[in-house]
């Protein structure tokens, strides 16, 4: 293996902040009570959850009563879609989403279709962006829910969330607007009330917090039916003993990120610009989606002529560089990307696309090292690769 390690798969998961590990370690070893217990240990744990709710409420500019904790972004998406659909089916059975959503949305809408709901899948343009007019045109009196991601996890497309939210409410004020912000939270300022967002999902392990904890924002007056049954924790919306250490860890990570978000975004965009400047000079390298501040700061998707993604992934790994051949959340089985198909990617590039995703822990040297590795590897791999 290489002497150097460059981790560029941060859209799949991130390295946990040391400060978060330290806090969680303390909770695991000292403040380990069940937050439902009435004794001091329980109160300690409950206070950690209250503190975490306040941190997220401050970031999202909402009330602590709007904040619920889950096990992951997928669970948050499932509660939002299934719970929202079941609670509002008397108003209608029409749901709108897009063709580039995460499997946590696409698989859930497949399930809802089996339950009798009608699903409309919106197209996107060549850069992966949803047209606001397309959303508005599809909203009907019986449309109960629209779900559109904030940031695409494969090509980094940024959706016009605020404009979409306004268009939905203009067309049908009763229609719920859900935003999967798993890739966007921690990389953008998101204010649900201002953006007409009724439901919002986020995940800890995308923002340097641990795996196994997520967040769901539910707006005031929004009807969502619980889909987990048990002890009635979190006002009955999400039963089950709370993951206190994970919740506190996610809150601390979010607080650290949002304390100086503008500077962190500036750094990520500089890394992206530097890397793209180097790699687009290589013959046969094509960028998917927009670049610059019109795109996500941390996601870079490259289609590379003449080299299969899996081959390049392992060649880079031999040099200590870790990247992804697509969404890590659709398992490690070969899978044609719905996003790449939706944006009209040529057929020969569907299995020749690599995602590089950065974090604030990456450096300019990381990006230069990776670019140099590509310059070295691609001619060799093209020489020996046979289709």
pLDDT of residue 348: 87
Average per-residue pLDDT in the chain? 95
Q: What is the pLDDT of residues 70-94, one digit of tens each?
A: 999 999 999 999 999 999 999 999 9
What letters, b where the CB count within 10 A reaches 16 and e where it falls short, cover 264-291?
bbebbbebbeebbebbeeeeebeebbbb
pLDDT at position 385 over 70:
no
Q: Encoding tokens for residue 96?
A: 């709108």
| Contact residues for 160 (Cβ-Cβ < 8 A; gap 6+) | 129, 130, 132
pLDDT of residue 384: 75
pLDDT of residue 231: 93
pLDDT of residue 314: 96
Encode 209-252 in three state secondary structure.
CCCCCEEEEECCCCCCCCCCCCCCCHHHCCCCCCCHHHHHHHHH
Is domain 18-259 annotated with CATH 3.30.980.20? no
Q: What is the pLDDT of residues 172-196, one digit of tens each?
A: 999 999 999 999 999 999 999 999 9
| Contact residues for 280 (Cβ-Cβ < 8 A; gap 6+) | 287
φ/ψ (deg, to 5) at 90: -70, -25
pLDDT of residue 387: 47
* Number of neighbouring beta carbons within 10 Å of residue 108: 24
Domain span(s) for CATH 3.40.640.10 in the chain: 18-259
Q: What is the pLDDT of residues 266-309, one digit of tens each?
A: 999 999 999 999 999 999 999 999 999 999 999 999 999 999 99
First to last CA, the chain: 28
For domain 6-15+260-384, the CATH class is: alpha beta
Q: What is the pLDDT of residues 116-140, one digit of tens each?
A: 999 999 999 999 999 999 999 999 9
**Set 329, 350, 375, 379: catalytic member:** 329
pLDDT of residue 386: 53
pLDDT of residue 329: 53
Examine the residue annotation and report whether 72 is marked as an active-site residue of this protein. no
Q: What is the pLDDT of residues 344-371, one digit of tens each?
A: 999 989 999 999 999 999 999 999 999 9
Distance CA 324, CA 361 (A): 18
What letters, b where the CB count within 10 A reaches 16 and e where it falls short, cover 166-194?
bbbeebbeebbbbbbbbbbbbbbebebbe
């Amino acid at each position: 293996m290489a002497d150097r390690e460059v981790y560029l798969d941060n859209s799949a998961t991130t390295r946990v902040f040391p400060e978060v590990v330290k806090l969680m370690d303390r909770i695991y070893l000292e403040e380990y009570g069940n937050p439902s217990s009435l004794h001091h240990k329980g109160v300690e744990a409950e206070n950690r959850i209250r503190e975490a709710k306040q941190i997220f409420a401050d970031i999202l500019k909402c009330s602590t009563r709007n904040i619920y904790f889950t096990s992951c972004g997928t669970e948050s998406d499932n509660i939002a879609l299934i719970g929202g659909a079941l609670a509002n089916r008397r108003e209608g059975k029409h749901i709108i989403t897009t063709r580039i959503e995460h499997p946590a949305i696409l698989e859930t809408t497949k399930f809802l279709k089996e339950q009798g709901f009608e699903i409309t899948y919106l197209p996107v343009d060549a850069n992966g962006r949803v047209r606001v007019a397309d959303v508005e045109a599809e909203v009907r009196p019986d449309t109960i829910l629209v779900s559109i991601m904030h940031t695409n996890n494969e090509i980094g497309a940024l959706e016009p969330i605020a404009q979409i939210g306004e268009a939905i409410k203009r067309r049908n004020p009763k229609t719920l607007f859900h935003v999967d912000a798993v890739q966007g939270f921690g990389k953008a300022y998101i204010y649900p009330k201002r953006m007409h967002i009724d439901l919002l999902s986020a995940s800890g392990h995308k923002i340097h917090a641990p795996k196994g904890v997520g967040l769901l924002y539910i707006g005031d007056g929004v009807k969502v039916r619980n889909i987990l049954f048990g002890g009635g924790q979190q006002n009955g919306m999400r039963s089950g003993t709370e993951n206190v250490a994970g919740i506190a860890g996610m809150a601390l990570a979010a607080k650290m990120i949002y304390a100086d978000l503008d500077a962190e975004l500036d750094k990520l965009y500089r890394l992206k610009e530097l890397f793209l400047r180097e790699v687009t000079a290589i013959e046969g390298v094509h960028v998917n989606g927009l670049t610059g501040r019109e795109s996500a700061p941390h996601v870079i998707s490259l289609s590379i002529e003449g080299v299969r993604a899996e081959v390049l992934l392992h060649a880079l790994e031999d040099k200590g560089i870790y990247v992804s051949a697509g969404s890590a959340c659709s398992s490690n089985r070969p899978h044609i990307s719905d996003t790449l198909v939706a944006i009209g990617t040529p057929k020969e590039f569907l299995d020749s696309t690599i995602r590089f995703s950065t974090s604030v822990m990456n450096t300019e040297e990381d990006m230069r090292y990776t670019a140099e590795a590509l310059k070295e590897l691609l001619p060799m791999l093209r020489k020996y690769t046979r289709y």
